[in-house]
Structure 1
Amino acid sequence: MLAASISQIEYKDKWVRAIILPLMLSLQLYLDYSEDFWDWKLAYCIGADILTAILVWELIRTVVLLLDRYYPWQNGFLKRLLLQLLITVPVCLVLIIGITWTTYTFIVTPHDPNLWLYFYKIDLPVIVILLCMLNFIYVSLYFYRFHEQQSITLPSILTDLTEQKHVRKPKTETNRLMIKSGKKELILDMSEVAGAFVTDGICWVVTTEGKKLVVDCSLDYLEEALKTGNFFRANRQLILSRMLVKSIHSDTYGKIKVVLKEGSGVSGEIFVSRTKAAEFRKWIKVDIAFQG
């Protein structure tokens, strides 16, 4: 997602065109036109130059957008830059020379050799430089927008992922729990669930009958569904209900030792940390006599 959003940069280049295009046209008018009088031929030539500049800009922009889609900068900076220049510069030169030839042939005096000499010696080098400048403008715009979009998109993606982590819960219907076990979806009444635990990376649900069911989810995933007040997350490996607890004992450093009932599917002893001890005592209430 991030890679896709980064490669599809939106160029906000209206203000760039509004500034650069008039400057380019002014330079061209300064180099090409020194006449002090106006006639229809001069007006045509200036209009043709303006149209050519607009077409060239749009052509370069179109090529840049297509390359962003089919050959993005992530494929290699130098390769992409070279490919972009090899496409835009020759194609734009063909367009410019074609329009210039049409103008010189049908509008301006066709037998003046100085026109073409001036075009190739003065205009053409300037045009090539301007075409390269236009390309580098879009390169700069890309990486400016890349940095700007990354600084906005990445926190947004991380926020979305965090929200999805909290929102994504197992399916629950009133007092029922729906969990996936292999290719089956199990539907258990909450009263049938005694607890859940993880061992060797496998998550198990324990029923009140002592059955252990392998489920395709994490303990964190189950914890969200079992927040009914009847279950307690004792540690990273175990969620238990009161029916699993046989007795509890105070231990060193403020910890609590919990003895689990035999035959419940999760027998043995576990320890509740000092940070969770007060919460555990509140949860267990007076169901079991606290032994000091």
Structure 2
Amino acid sequence: MSLFRKDSRYYPDIPLFLILIPFISAFNYYLTYNNIKFNGFLVLTYTLDTLQGYAGWLGVRKTILYLDKSMPYHKGILKRIVIQFLLTTLVGLFIISALTEMVSLIARGKMVPSSFYTHDLFIISIWFFVLNAIYIMIYYYKKWQQVEIEIALEKQAKIEGFLIRVGKKNLKFSYDELIGFYVDSDYVIACHTKGNIYYLDTSLDKIEEKLPTDLYFRLNRKYLLHRNLMSGFKRIENGKLLVSLSLSNASLPNEIPVSRAKAPLFKSWFWPNQ
């Protein structure tokens, strides 16, 4: 089932809560009922409580997935966490309250006693707090894993270098040997430190995906250059930048413009500790 896929956003939340919720129901049952005896009533009420717990959890999960699209963490983590805690708690309590009232009307012909809202729902709301905390921890654990994978891939890429097909051969170049790439008509050209150029039958976008981001920067649509090639930059009109190149190469100009939109990103990349 797709719900159990390891690449799902919050895996392993589903198998975790499928196991955890029956234990939560048992603990809540202990806090809620007096004179507990193992009989048909216990089995029935415990089963109903557990099923209601699953329904409440699924409602909370759907709400969290909705917030991931409408209010992602990177647009304001504190606001997102506060709204998530409040909204998921309200959704979960509403589902459990509605189901409990429905069961009470069917089984007893009357509404649940007021103690359910003053005592039982208070206990349940604490569990929703715990549930939210687990989801937030899973989210940031996944983010940490993603960063670790990206760092490992970049390190591996630096070791492997870049492959270029020359005739019938595939030649591997270290990144320090390739000072940049630029678009020329229907081809992308790779520039070597020794002045050699190589025609690549691919797009600059695809090349950019393969290069380590700490070494190469896409200045504009045409140029993707190595950090070692850039000596500095200056501001020009309309918030644009003009990047100066330190190595002379017949295939490259001495200065290359960077758009206003990319200027802040370039400056933070060029001077990461500033």
CA 221–149 in structure 1, closer or farther in 2 if over 3 Å, else same: farther
- The question of 1:219 aligning with 2:213 is answered no
Query: TM-score of the superposition, structure 1-length normalised?
Result: 0.52
Alpha-carbon deviation of 1:95?
0.7
Structure 1 counterpart of 2:119: 122
Alpha-carbon deviation of 1:123?
0.5
- The question of 1:150 aligning with 2:144 is answered no
Q: Contact 2:190–2:198 (CA<8 Å) still a contact in 1? A: no
Higher relative contact order (CA 8 A, sep 6+): 1
- The question of 1:56 aligning with 2:56 is answered yes
Could you tell me how far apart the structure 2 residues matched to 1:135 and 1:78 are? Answer: 14
Alpha-carbon deviation of 1:28?
1.2
CA 153–70 in structure 1, closer or farther in 2 if over 3 Å, else same: farther
Of 153, 162, 169, which aligns to 1:166?
162
> Unaligned 5+ residue runs, structure 1?
1-7, 186-214, 227-235, 240-292
Could you tell me how far apart the structure 2 residues matched to 1:49 and 1:100 are? Answer: 8
Give the stretch that moved more between structures: 55-64 or 87-96: 55-64
Alpha-carbon deviation of 1:15?
6.2
Q: Letter of the aligned partner of 1:66 in structure 2?
A: Y
SS at match of 2:120: helix
Deviations 1:165-217 (A, max 9, x none): 511x3x64369xxx9884366xxxxxxxxxxxxxxxxxxxxxxxxxxxxx954
CA 70–15 in structure 1, closer or farther in 2 if over 3 Å, else same: same
Residue identity (%): 23
Matches within 5 A, 1:177-256: 182-183=184-185, 217-220=190-193, 223=196, 225=198, 237=248
Query: TM-score of the superposition, structure 2-length normalised?
Result: 0.55
CA 71–221 in structure 1, closer or farther in 2 if over 3 Å, else same: farther
CA 173–84 in structure 1, closer or farther in 2 if over 3 Å, else same: same
Deviations 1:104-143 (A, max 9, x none): 21213637xxx52220221111111111211111112222
Alpha-carbon deviation of 1:65?
3.0
Could you tell me how far apart the structure 2 residues matched to 1:34 and 1:158 are? Answer: 61
Could you tell me how far apart the structure 2 residues matched to 1:67 and 1:222 are? Answer: 52
SS at match of 1:116: coil
Alpha-carbon deviation of 1:13?
2.9
Matches within 5 A, 1:237-276: 237=248
Structure 2 counterpart of 1:83: 83
> Unaligned 5+ residue runs, structure 2?
1-7, 170-180, 200-246, 251-274
Q: Contact 1:180–1:217 (CA<8 Å) still a contact in 2? A: yes
Q: Contact 2:21–2:53 (CA<8 Å) still a contact in 1? A: yes
Could you tell me how far apart the structure 1 residues matched to 2:41 and 2:19 are? Answer: 27
Structure 2 counterpart of 1:138: 135
Alpha-carbon deviation of 1:70?
4.1
Could you tell me how far apart the structure 1 residues matched to 2:16 and 2:35 are? Answer: 30
